[in-house]
Amino acid sequence: MASKRTKELDFRSNDGLEVALLWQPETNQLSVSVYDSKTGDDFEIEVDPAKATDAFHHPYAYAASRGVHFVAGTRTPEIEIEAVPA
């Protein structure tokens, strides 16, 4: 989650997809924030500084490489989670 001091280093928007590269100076952490108005996908993922540009330009591929997958606008975990009986 972005703090009040988060700095937007780069931003792009095209066909309903908004992608921002964010930097948190307190922690020196980089992240990529994505919002897709067509599918409702909305996520933020921490990125290694060496891969920040790649993650910014290909956020879904980067997210998938980190175990976050999307199917028809729905985020799915890489590992199936069993429901616990009530």
Average pLDDT over residues 5-10: 95
Structure tokens of 20?
A: 């921002």
pTM: 0.76
For residue 51, tell me if it sits in a domain: yes
For residue 44, tell me if it sits in a domain: yes
Read off the pLDDT of residues 33-82 as tens digits, 9 standing for 90 and up.
999 998 888 889 999 999 999 999 999 899 889 888 766 555 554 444 34
For residue 82, tell me if it sits in a domain: no
d(CA 37, CA 58): 17
Give the pLDDT band (50/70/90) at residue 3: low
For residue 86, tell me if it sits in a domain: no
Q: Give the chain's domain count.
A: 1
Percent of the chain with pLDDT over 70: 77
Read off the pLDDT of residues 19-47 as tens digits, 9 standing for 90 and up.
999 999 999 999 999 999 988 888 899 99
For residue 2, tell me if it sits in a domain: no
pLDDT of residue 80: 44
* Residues linked to residue 13 through DSSP beta bridges, in sequence order: 18
Q: What is the DSSP letter of 78?
A: S
Structural domain containing residue 38: 7-68
Strands 42-47, 29-36: parallel, antiparallel or unpaired by DSSP? Answer: antiparallel
For residue 55, tell me if it sits in a domain: yes
